[in-house]
Amino acid sequence: MKLQLILLFALFTTGLSASAQKQYKLAKNNGKLNLNISGVTVEGYDGNEIIFSLPKNEDEEVDERAKGLKAFNSSGFKDNSGLGFDVTVRGDDINVNPVSVANQPKLSIKLPRNVRVSFANNSNMYQDTVTLKNLKTEIDVAVTGNDIVLTNNVGPMNIKTLHGSVDASFPADLKGPISIISVNGHVDIALPASVKANLEVISNYGKIYAADDLKIAINPASNPKTNATGQPVKTLTIGKGVQALTIKSLAANSENQDENAPVFGYEGGNYAESLNGKINGGGVDFILKSNHNNIYIREKK
């Protein structure tokens, strides 16, 4: 009897939470989802429908006069989803645009595995966190100020944010290339110890931190470079910040340091830090860059 009561309660709670959401479903399991909105949470799943959902706001005022009508905006977008967003399918592209730019709720989307994602937001005022998780296809994010959270995405991916930061956690089974760049925000990535990767990390005015446990093998320095006429190019190498970490791992990996000195610093740079290396012999290409902030490369526990 007790068990039946618990079961009944669980079903009631599930039903209640489902009814507390507004949903719009689109039968599409391939193509590219282009999101031109302020923020989003996208999660990959094994299904054939793109499910858009919003938490139901109990305090939301219902305009009785607008019943049976649809909201339009000056760009011609109309609320055809019932969620305040215009969802239009054009060939392989599924375009999502807000009807009201100023009052955008944060959309949650469940995405079939084969649908690619592209997120763009050039607004300086309306920015919310972009969370992408469990996706197995190509990801493309280009934003001005959004913070970006990436969890368990296979790749490949191109991530760009001018003022936001990027926090990413990757699975071991990756597809490259993976490029993450920010001007003012930090870049923080967590990699499994078993991942095979080539790292190209640059921070102009920040520092680079890396976990010793990842055993990053720093690439040997290239020999003095020459130009097309054979004249040698002077190379100036400066390192700071992450030196302690990487030189330590280099000492363990490199037997002949005279010939294979680490590439550290940036030619002719005053403050820039760079790290070029391999994890587990190399594999997927990673490009990590932050102009004014730090870059963290940690082991995923």
Nearer to other proteins, 43 or 285 (CB): 285
**The binder of other proteins chosen from 49, 80, 156, 283 (CB under 8 A):** 156
**Residue in 23, 140, 196, 209 binding other proteins, rule: CB under 8 A:** 140
> Measured from the CB atom, is 154 or 297 closer to other proteins?
154
Q: Give the footprint of other proteins on residues 96-125 (CB under 8 A).
A: none
- DSSP letters spanning the chain: -HHHHHHHHHHHHHHHHHHTEEEEEEE--SSEEEE-SS-EEEEEESSSEEEEEEE--TTPPP-GGGTT---B-TTS-B--SSSSEEEEEETTEEEEEESSSTTPPPEEEEEETT-EEEEEE--SS----EEEES--S-EEEEESS--EEEES----EEEEESS--EEEE--SS--S-EEEEESSS-EEEEE-TT--EEEEEEESSS-EEE-GGG--EEPBPPPPPB-TTS-B--------SSHHHHHHHHHHH-S-TTTS-B-BS-TT-SS-EEEEEEETT--EEEEEEESSS-EEEEE--
Applying CB under 8 A, among 99, 107, 132, 157 the residue interacting with other proteins is 157
Q: Which parts of 42-71 interact with other proteins (CB under 8 A)?
A: none
Minimum CB separation of residue 33 from other proteins in Å reads: 14
Applying CB under 8 A, what is the total number of residues that bind other proteins?
37
Binding mask 251-270 for other proteins (x = CB under 8 A): ----------------xxx-
Q: Which is nearer to other proteins, 138 or 299 (CB)?
A: 138
Window 170-189: contact mask with other proteins (x via CB under 8 A): ------xx-x-x-xx-----
Partners of 151 in the β-ladder:
133, 169
Smallest separation (angstroms) from other proteins to the CB of 97: 18
Residue among 158, 219, 243, 280 that touches other proteins (CB under 8 A): 158
| Residues in region 211-250 near other proteins by CB under 8 A | 222-228, 230-231, 233
Task: Kindly list the residues in this chain that would bind other proteins in the complex (CB under 8 A).
Answer: 138, 140, 142, 155-160, 162, 176-177, 179, 181, 183-184, 200, 204, 222-228, 230-231, 233, 267-269, 272, 285, 287, 289, 291-292
